Each structure stands twice: as structure tokens, then as C-alpha cells.
Amino acid sequence: MTTWMTRERIDLGPVCLDGDLTLPEHATGLVLFAHGGGSSRRSPRNQAVAAELHRRGLATLLIDLLTPEIGPIADRLAAVVDWLRLQPPTAALPIGLFGASTGGGAALVAAAARPEAVHAVVSRGGRPDLAGPALLEVRAPTLLIVGERDTDVLELNEQARNTMRIRAELRIIPGATHLFPEPGALDAVAGEAAHWFTAHLTAAMTR
């Protein structure tokens, strides 16, 4: 499978964001990543998930969001969704959002803000509680992935799953902690995310 990777500088007016756009040949969807505070597009955990998505024929955009606050991150994610829908290589691709840690909350807020554009959400060790009332407005099928030993975050994700009005599923990775450093844990996260995005973005592509 031929894959192209380009460095993008996305002008959002007040800020410009640097990103890495990877496009497999005949991609069936695109996943936009939202990292947590203190991380970047070079996060090895997000890059591992992105590599699995590429193997499944999905494009990815990893960007540096430059701020740890949920509001600005969500606003910038929504603006990047708009940008992707205007670019010829990505305009026709259904979009999913992958959020990690606090980026999980931001991804859910952005999904609620762009219901016609975002077709799936995956949160890895995320904080869906930070989405606030936007959690009830999310229309995209949502997968919440949490480590079994990340007990506080697991409780927050269970509450979110039970609160959301759309299809939301919780996957618990046995023995894993918050950053999934245990052997095989991150592979399990990548596999679950790839399966979710492949199913929902491919379905959106054929509508």
C-alpha cells in the first residue's frame, strides 16, 4: 500500500498549527488526533495508534495544539475539521477524532460542535467529564478505552458511557494503567481504535 506523509501548517487566524498528514492510497476515512496537555504530535503512543490505522487504510492528522485548556483545544479541533473538509486530498474522507487524556474531552466537545462532519470518536484514557454539557450533544458513535488499573479515570468513563445519548461503548484493557506502558496494552488500544474507526468511517464513506 502506497502512503504519503506531508507536513502541514494550518492557519487558523489567531494561531498556526503544525501537523503531520498521512494519506494511504485509497483511504476510507481520516482520524484527527487530540493529545493531552504536555504532549505533542510526536507522542509515541499516538504514533503507535496512527501506524495501526494506516495499516487499516485510514489517513491520520497529528497536530500540535499548543495549549492544555479544553476550550481552545476543542475550538481548534473543530477549526481543523473545517480545514480538512476544504482540502482536495481530504475533503471526501469521513472524519473521526481520537483523543487522549484531556484531549478525550476536547474531542467530544469538537464532535458535538461538528455533528455533520465527525462520524466516530475514540478516547484513550480520556476525561469525558471535561466535555461538560457537550457530552449530551455528541452524535458520533464513541468508544472509550481505559486501563483496568486506571481506576479514577475508569469511573469517569463509566459515568460518561451511561450518560451519553448515542452509542457509546467502554473497552477495559486488562492490567493496564493510565499510559498503557504494560506489554501488549498499547497494541490492544490500537487494535480497538482501528476496528472502531474502520467500521464507522468505512460505513460513512459508502453512504
14-73 confidence digits (pLDDT tens): 889 999 999 999 999 999 999 876 667 888 899 999 999 999 999 999 998 877 778 899
The pLDDT tens digits of the residues spanning 124-160 come to 999 999 999 999 999 999 999 999 999 999 999 999 9
Of 62-66, 112-116, 194-198, the range with the lowest mean pLDDT is: 62-66
Domain region containing 79: 3-205
Residue 36: all three cell numbers together:
493531552
pLDDT score recorded for residue 37:
65
> What is the predicted pLDDT for the residue at 67?
77
Record the pTM: 0.94
Counted domains in the chain: 1
- pLDDT of the residue at 74: 94
Which pLDDT value is given to residue 70? Answer: 84
The whole-number pLDDT of residue 14 equals 85
| Position 175 pLDDT exceeds 90 | yes
Mean per-residue pLDDT of the chain = 94
- Which pairing describes strands 30-34 and 142-147: parallel, antiparallel, or unpaired? unpaired
pLDDT band at 9 (very low <50, low <70, confident <90, very high): very high
Q: Which residue would you say has higher pLDDT here, 90 or 35?
A: 90
Which domain CATH number covers 35?
A: 3.40.50.1820
